[in-house]
Chains A and B, each alone.
Chain A
Amino acid sequence: MDKNKIQKDELIPRAKRSSLSSRPSLLKATFAIVQKDLAAEFRSFELVSAMLVFSLLVIIIFNFALELDIKVRQSVTAGVLWTTFAFAGTLGLNRSMSTEKDRGCMDGLLLAPVDRSAIYFGKAISNLAFMLIVETIVLPVYSVLYNVNLFRLDLIGIILLGSIGYVAVGTLLSAMSVQTRTREVLLPILLFPVAIPVLLAAVKASNGLLTGADFAEVLIPLNILIVYDVVFIAVAFMVFDFVVEE
């Protein structure tokens, strides 16, 4: 009886020690997930190519729907770009999460002895990477098609901030929507009302830059973008555990 007890006491700390030492750090685990996603993507280019073709189609539709002549163009460029990014973004978010779910990868990730938030950050960073790849191709194409220079460091900064906010909340919501019955249909419905602040602030800031408004006018939406990014990354980080737990 006594002997048994002693053995048990000895066992527990050893087990704890071994689980601690084999547990990779948050940063390492996050980058492992990013690496996995990027490697899978660079083999097939399934996601990025779909997002890209879709983006170009959206721009073509806008071209004729809005009659993008030189006068209209100046005031709507920011709106057209962000609408395109938002639509292409939902496409990517849906796909990247549903491949995890369909092939049972998500269960594998959840079983891995890593912090759950590493899964969130890993997926969010790879989603952001896909979105940025698409944006870096759409921007020059748009610049050439409409003869406006979109290669400005300040504009790229705004696009980066906007994409971060969009992906931060989108990754969380796509993890939720893939687990429902309606799946792909549900993500935009869940995401757009919550992401409206980031999209509107990004449009306002980009529009200010493109029309050459005062910096003070750009500063307020820029601040809101930063606030949104910080708040939603923090909230998503805190609640992601509840979304994936079984």
Chain B
Amino acid sequence: MQTKPIALKILDVVSIILLAISTYLALFFAPMELVMGQVQRVFYFHIGTAWVGLLGFVIAALTGIVYLITKDMKWDRFGVAAVEVSTVFFFLTIVLGSIWARPAWNTWWTWDPRLTTAAVTELIYVAYFMLRQGIDDPEKRARFGAVYTLLGGVSAPITFMVIRLFRTIHPVIVGAANANQEKMSMTGDMKIAFFFALFAFTIIFIDLIWHRVRLGGLEDKVEQLKLKVSM
């Protein structure tokens, strides 16, 4: 039996501490936003979860390519871990966004490009799990999963481009595309909370992926042992 590596144990503790500090910064340290009030504080976690969510989907597409080239199951485990963790974080992003949107836009949901793209992306990765579930052969499962994450990774940016043709009301905080878009700005303390949340969620993301990759390895081992016993 393989024990949990010490580095992972340390990372667990660090993630919990970082999450606590980030919560403090977002809820108490950052100044209250003038127009939107307290509900704006949800923004720090909204961006944090969105960032790691997207990061995971990009990682999944890349590990998919690497898997198809090398055919090493290690990359498949990495890809699944990335999609699984990201799907949860991305769902959190959508929920947190809705919480913010209710008082700010007076509606839980609107068919804005970013919201729609987020929903479609989330559905792509739900479909990914359904695809994997329908295949028994682990090698084929890995192959099809890799192909599908690749397709999803290519299609999501195009979805965003298309839906932008329809309409947008989502605020642009980082890098407004043109002067017409409503741009919001952050004060110094807000920036600290913002960047700290990004950092904290990145560490938490790494920690969770590590756990999931390790779990995947253990699952494979159990399967092999079961086969050995049944023979």
Q: Tell me the chain A residues, 185-224 only, with Cβ under 8 Å from chain B.
A: 186, 189-190, 193-197, 200-201, 204, 220-221, 224
Complex partner residue of B151 from A196, A220, A235, CB under 8 angstroms: A235
Chain A binder among B142-150, B168-176, B185-193, B204-212: B142-150
Does the CB pair B147–A182 fall under 8 Å? no
Given A181-B136, A221-B162, is A194 in contact with B152 using a C-beta cutoff of 8 Å? yes
Bound CA span A232–B165, Å: 21
* Smallest CB separation, A167 vs chain B (Å): 14
CB contacts (< 8 Å) of A186 on chain B: these are: 130-131, 134
Does the CB pair A194–B155 fall under 8 Å? yes
Does the CB pair A196–B159 fall under 8 Å? yes
Which residue of chain A lies nearest to B147 when distances are taken between CB atoms in the complex? A239
Complex partner residue of A193 from B68, B123, B133, CB under 8 angstroms: B123
CB contacts (< 8 Å) of A183 on chain B: these are: 134
- For residue A160, CB closer than 8 A to chain B, the reply is no
Does the CB pair A221–B165 fall under 8 Å? yes
Does the CB pair A220–B143 fall under 8 Å? no
Q: Tell me the chain A residues, 42-74 only, with Cβ under 8 Å from chain B.
A: none
* Smallest CB separation, A174 vs chain B (Å): 12
CB contacts (< 8 Å) of B165 on chain A: these are: 201, 204, 220-221, 224
Which residue of chain A lies nearest to B157 when distances are taken between CB atoms in the complex? A197
The count of residues in chain A whose C-beta lies closer than 8 Å to any C-beta of chain B is 33
Given A193-B120, A228-B158, is A243 in contact with B151 using a C-beta cutoff of 8 Å? no
Does the CB pair B163–A200 fall under 8 Å? yes
- For residue A132, CB closer than 8 A to chain B, the reply is no
CB contacts (< 8 Å) of A193 on chain B: these are: 120-121, 123-124, 127, 152, 155
- For residue B154, CB closer than 8 A to chain A, the reply is yes
Tally of contacts, chain A with chain B, CB under 8 A: 91
CB contacts (< 8 Å) of A176 on chain B: these are: 131, 144, 147-148
Determine chain A's interface SS by DSSP, over half rule.
Answer: helix
Bound CA span A176–B147, Å: 9
- For residue B135, CB closer than 8 A to chain A, the reply is yes
- For residue A179, CB closer than 8 A to chain B, the reply is yes
Given A190-B127, A239-B147, A242-B147, is A197 in contact with B159 using a C-beta cutoff of 8 Å? yes
- For residue A227, CB closer than 8 A to chain B, the reply is yes
Complex partner residue of A235 from B121, B124, B136, B154, CB under 8 angstroms: B154
Complex partner residue of A190 from B140, B143, B148, B154, CB under 8 angstroms: B148
Enumerate chain A interface residues (CB-CB to B < 8 A).
Answer: 169, 172-173, 176-177, 179-183, 186, 189-190, 193-197, 200-201, 204, 220-221, 224, 227-228, 231-232, 235, 239, 242-243, 245
A selection of 19 A-B contacts at a CB cut-off of 8 Å is A176-B147, A179-B140, A180-B134, A182-B130, A182-B133, A186-B131, A193-B121, A194-B151, A195-B155, A196-B120, A196-B162, A224-B161, A227-B158, A231-B154, A232-B151, A239-B68, A239-B150, A243-B143, A245-B143
In the complex, besides A177-B131, A180-B131, A232-B151, 16 extra interface pairs with C-beta distance below 8 angstroms are: A172-B151, A173-B151, A176-B131, A182-B130, A186-B134, A189-B130, A190-B127, A190-B131, A193-B121, A200-B162, A201-B165, A224-B158, A224-B161, A239-B147, A242-B68, A245-B143
